[in-house]
Amino acid sequence: MSIDKTKVSILPKSFPDYEKAVFESGSQLSELDESVGALIWTAYADPEGLFKTIQENPQLEFVQLPFAGVDAFSEVIQLPVRFACAKGSYREPVAEHALMLSMALGRVLPERIKATSWGRKHADSLYDANVLIIGGGGITEELIKLLGPFRANITVVRNRQIPLEGAAKVTTLEHLDAELAMADWVILACSLTDKTKGLFDQRRFSQMKSTAYLVNIARGAVVVTEDLVLALNSGLIAGAGVDVTDPEPLPDGHPLWSAKNVIITPHTADTNAQVVRMFSLRIKQNLAAYQGKGDWVGLVDPILGY
């Protein structure tokens, strides 16, 4: 039986808005059989299941993943199938969350929320501040727009030295060390790859200003958690706001919970309601591209790993 490019399957479970996007794309939702060449895989925690599904269905030509990061699928994306992810889909709420954490840290909210006395007067402003962003994807593009009214001096570190509108400087990971010493805020918005895993360790924290803040809305493993705890408690950095941790969920009683000047949000930069609504558009776009009716969005590069 030949592949029918109007058919798509959703595994391992279906979400109503995903189904709606399939129908709106001019496709039809079907059980996975030899006539189906496109698959939407919804389980981030089951890369082995996806690997097995592709092996058992050699007719599959395209797999859409509903996650911005594909680090869990590092082996799967090496298979001879076209993969797309959701990078850029959730850029607005995640960039908003990064801005919120940055402003809260500058106004020492971790300290003030717990305070039971008047305390010290302190505030750091994003206006005219030096902001260093690690990663050059859609979240960074959106965050640069949000930082525009603050006249922030923005430097972006990314894999390739490709200019970004609104950034005063774009450089590569090889020059990260030189940029850290000048940053007032360091915001992690990169994919988790072999290059970025453990990127921020004690050595990197020691290169930051003691008055600088770290914000992580990327992946928890970009930061060595034990070293972050040490950096906070020893005053190597002024504070941190993290929406992602390693391990995740962060266990009760973990030392990071009680570290100085830290804000921890439970991976809520984008919620399920936001994700489903925004990802529906990505499904519609790429199923149209699969049928030759538009351009692909968010294709995964198996070499770069995102």
- The Cα 103–Cα 97 span in angstroms is 10
SS3 157: strand
Q: Which of 82, 91, 97, 219 is catalytic?
A: 219
Quick check: is 142 catalytic? Answer: no
Closest to 291 measured CA to CA, from 2, 5, 4? 5
Q: Which of 120, 267, 277, 282 is catalytic?
A: 267
Strands 130-134 and 153-158: parallel
Closest to 38 measured CA to CA, from 13, 11, 14, 17? 11
Q: Which of 248, 254, 277, 282 is catalytic?
A: 248
Q: Quick one: CA dihedral 202, 207, 209, 214, positive or negative?
A: negative
Quick check: is 267 catalytic? Answer: yes
Quick check: is 19 catalytic? Answer: no
Burial group, residue 91, by CB count within 10 angstroms (0-12, 13-18, 19+): buried
Closest to 98 measured CA to CA, from 245, 244, 227? 244
The set of catalytic residues is 219, 248, 267
